[in-house]
Amino acid sequence: MRIAIASDHAAVDLKATLRDYLIELGHEVADLGPETADRVDYPDYGYLLGSVVADGTADYGVALCGSGIGISMAVNRNPACRCALVSEPLSAALAREHNNANCIAMGARLTGIDMAKACLDAFLSTEFGGGRHAGRVEKLSNPPA
């Protein structure tokens, strides 16, 4: 799979660890930055991640910041993105199965490395369930005017 990963300064270390983990699993990974812990604005990286998932450059996105909240909001500004903030594997799996999430967000200050890896594993190994969920997911990408 082609996976893009981005963070803010608070999650740069977790991003590097998860990037390397995804590469070890055999995924093609695009690290969208930042490269250092110098202060940056999470919306910039959330918007960038959303754009590469929306245009098909990446199949999935991984968004990280201190809490995961701000960057997930930025990613979700793109109507083609469904970014789920998760903190454990069940919510990661349900985000894929019920909501066809194409991005996952986590908080570096709230989620340890092993739990973050478990969330990624659950997210990437779960298929969208379709069926009764399909119409709801379609509405997420096409809100009323």
Q: How far apart are CA 79 and CA 87, in angstroms?
A: 23
Q: Supply the residues annotated as catalytic.
A: 65, 98
Q: Where on the phi/psi map is residue 41: left (φ > 0), alpha (ψ -120 to 50), or beta? A: beta
User: Among 123, 119, 15, which residue's Cα sits nearest to residue 63?
Assistant: 15
Q: How far apart are CA 87 and CA 106, in angstroms?
A: 6
Q: How far apart are CA 100 and CA 110, in angstroms?
A: 24
